[in-house]
Structure 1
Amino acid sequence: MGDFWGRSVRVVAGAAVLAVALAGCQRSAAEKPKAGAPAGPAGPAAPEVRHEPDTAAVWRKWGLKPLAPAPAAPVDKPLKLSRKGPAKVFESVPTKGRVVFVTLDDGQEKDPKFVTMLRELKVPVTMFLTKDDIQDDYGYFKPLQELGNRIQDHTITHPVLPTLGPEGQKHEICGDRDALTEQYGTAPTLLRPPFGRWNSATQEAARECGISGIVMWRASMQIHDFQYDDPKKELHPGDILLAHFRGPKQLKGETMTQMFAHLLKQIEKRGFAVGRLEDYISVR
Structure 2
Amino acid sequence: MIRRIKWPGWVIVLLVIAGAILGINQVLAQYSSAETNEPKEKITDSSVYPGLNIQTKTNKTDLYTTSISQPYTKVSSINKPINQWINNQKEMFTKNVKQNKQTLKKNDFQAHLNIQVDTHNVAEKLYTLEFSAYQIAGGANGTNTKKAFTIDLTANKMLKLEDVLNMDKKTIEHIQTLAKEMLYRDKDVKPYIMDDLLEEALQDPKDWEWSINHKNMTLFFDQYDIAAGAAGAIRVDIPMEDIKPYLNKTFAEKLDVTVPEKDHTQDKEETDHHESALDPDGKYIALTFDDGPDPNVTPRILKTLNKHDAKATFFMLGSQVEYYPELANKVEEAGHEIGNHTMHHQDLTTVQKSAIKQEVQQSSDIIQQSTGQAPSLFRPPYGASDKTVETVAEKMGTPIGMWSVDSRDWKSRNADTVYKKVMNNAASESIVLMHDIHPSTADALPKVLTSLEKKGYQMVTISQLIQLWDEQGIGPYYGKIG
Tell me if TM exceeds 0.5: yes
Contact 2:318 2:344 in 1 (8 A): yes
Q: How far is 1:75 from its partner?
A: 6.8
Change (3 A) 1:117 1:235: closer
Residue pair 2:289, 2:313 contacting (<8 A) in 1 also: yes
Q: Secondary structure at the match of 2:449?
A: helix
Q: Find the partner of 2:437 among 243, 246, 250.
A: 246
Partner Cα separation in structure 2 for residue 121 and residue 170 of structure 1: 37
The CA distance in 1 between the partners of 2:371 and 2:301, in whole Å, is 19
Q: 1:100 to 1:115 in 2, by over 3 A?
A: closer
Asked if 1:216 corresponds to 2:402, the answer is yes
Question: Could you say which residue in structure 2 is the equivalent of 1:185?
Answer: 372
Contact 2:291 2:435 in 1 (8 A): yes
Residues 131-142 of structure 1 aligned to structure 2 (within 5 Å): 131-142=318-329
Aligned counterparts, 1:29-68, within 5 A: none
Query: Residue type matched to 1:109 in 2?
Result: D
What CA distance in whole angstroms lies between the structure 2 residues aligned with 1:233 and 1:114? Answer: 21
Q: Give 1:166 shift.
A: 1.1
Q: 1:276 aligns with which of 457, 461, 464?
A: 461
Question: Secondary structure of the equivalent of 2:425?
Answer: coil
Letter in structure 2 aligned against 1:138? P
Query: Deviation per CA, 1:84-133, whole angstroms, max 9, x where unpaired?
Result: xxxxxxxxxxx653111111111153233433333332210111100112
* Percentage of identical aligned residues: 23
Question: Match of 1:257?
Answer: 442
Q: Tell me whether 1:149 sits opposite 2:329 in the alignment.
A: no
The structure with the largest strand share of the pair is 2
- 1:228-259 deviations in Å (ceiling 9; x for gaps): 69xx93322211111111234xx3xxxx5312
Distance of 1:153 and 1:118 partners within structure 2: 20
Q: What's the TM-score, normalizing by structure 2?
A: 0.35
Q: 2:362 pairs with 170, 175, 181, which one?
A: 175
Number of aligned positions between the proteins? 186
> Secondary structure of the equivalent of 2:400?
strand
Task: Tell me, in whole angstroms, the C-alpha distance in 1 between the residues paired with 2:332 and 2:338.
Answer: 7
- Give the distance between the partners of 2:306 and 2:330, measured in 1 at CA: 9
Partner in structure 2 of residue 100 of structure 1: 285
- Supply the AA of the counterpart residue of 1:162: T
C-alpha contact 1:96 1:237 (8 A) present in aligned 2: no
Written as runs of structure 1 = structure 2, the 5 A alignment for 1:122-137 is: 122-137=309-324
**Root mean square deviation of aligned Cα:** 2.7
Separation in 2, partners of 1:214, 1:243: 16
- TM-aligned CA deviation for residue 266 of structure 1: 4.6
3-state SS of paired residue (1:74):
coil
Give the equivalent residue in structure 2 for 1:237. 428
Q: Which residue of 1 aligns with 2:124?
A: none
Aligned to 1:161: 348
* 2:295 aligned with 1:110: yes
SS of the residue corresponding to residue 315 of structure 2 reads strand
Residues 196 and 216, structure 1, Cα contact 8 Å, conserved in 2? yes
Per-residue displacement from partner, 1:204-231 (whole Å, max 9, x unpaired)?
A: 11122331x11111112223336869xx
Offset, 1:264:
1.7
Q: Distance in 2 between matches of 1:194 and 1:227?
A: 24
Contact 1:178 1:187 in 2 (8 A): yes
- Preserved contact between residue 106 and residue 130 of structure 1 (Cα < 8 Å): yes
Deviation at 1:197, TM superposition (A): 0.6
Amino acid at match of 1:239: S
Q: In 2, distance between residues paired with 1:189 and 1:278?
A: 8
The amino acid that maps onto 2:369 is E
Q: Given the superposition, is the C-alpha separation of residues 134 and 245 from structure 1 closer, same or farther in structure 2, using an over 3 Å criterion?
A: same
SS, match of residue 170 in structure 1:
helix
After superposition, the Cα gap between the structure-2 partners of 1:163 and 1:267, relative to the gap in structure 1 and judged at 3 Å, is same
Unaligned runs of 5+ in 2: 1-274, 410-414, 474-482
SS for the counterpart of 1:101 is: strand
For normalisation by structure 1, the TM-score amounts to 0.58
Structure 1: any 5+ residue segments left out of the alignment? 1-71, 77-94
CA distance in 2: counterparts of 1:238 and 1:153, whole angstroms: 21
State the alpha-carbon separation in 2 of the partners of residues 185 and 227 from structure 1.
37
1:259–1:135: structure 2 CA closer, same or farther, 3 Å change rule? farther
What amino acid is the match of 1:273? Q
- Contact 2:287 2:313 survives alignment (8 Å): yes
